[in-house]
Amino acid sequence: MNSDFTLAIHSLTLLALQPDRMATSDIISESAGVHPVRIRKVLSLLKKHGFIKTKEGTGGGFIFASELSEVNLWDIYKITSEGALQPKCPDSNEKCIVGANMQKVLFSIFLGAEEHLGEYLKNYTIKEVVHHINLEK
């Protein structure tokens, strides 16, 4: 799994903490320790799903566009990383009962695993993450 999921959470949390003004990709990238272009790419996904708004030009940037308690981590996972749990099986031997069928068996197991993970992630919203961040202060 790449870190788009955690980058998205990081960015949203930062935006949640300054709901009144926009944050640029430079500011967010400095907080997250990654390149600003990556921030723009990940956040453009979140924009497409309406979680944030963006503005180009001077004074522009990114800003939260929904209720903190309505954005849960499962939503974000699906947008950034759906299918990431799924293992990339090498082409196994079709002549072997196991090789020929293992891939689809594993596929169904991991599909179930991802759904199960979803049940857990649905319980976490950005509001909770922000709360945890504040507790750590």
Partner DNA sequence: CTAATCTGTAATGTTTATTATCACAGTACA
Partner DNA sequence: TGTACTGTGATAATAAACATTACAGATTAG
Contact footprint for DNA (CB under 7 A): 1-4, 24-26, 33-38, 40-41, 43-44, 47, 54-62, 88, 90
CA distances from 38 to 6, 8, 34, 49, 92 (A): 12, 10, 7, 18, 35
DSSP secondary-structure letter at 35? -
d(CA 28, CA 24): 6
Paired tokens of 73: 């981590």
Report what 65 binds from DNA, its own copies, none; CB cut-off 5-8 Å by kind: none
Quick check: 87 binds its own copies (CB under 8 A)? yes
In the list its own copies, DNA, none, the entry touching 132 (Cβ below 5 to 8 angstroms by class) is its own copies
User: Within positions 9 to 68, which residues make up the interface with its own copies, using CB under 8 A?
Assistant: 9-10, 13-14, 17, 30-34
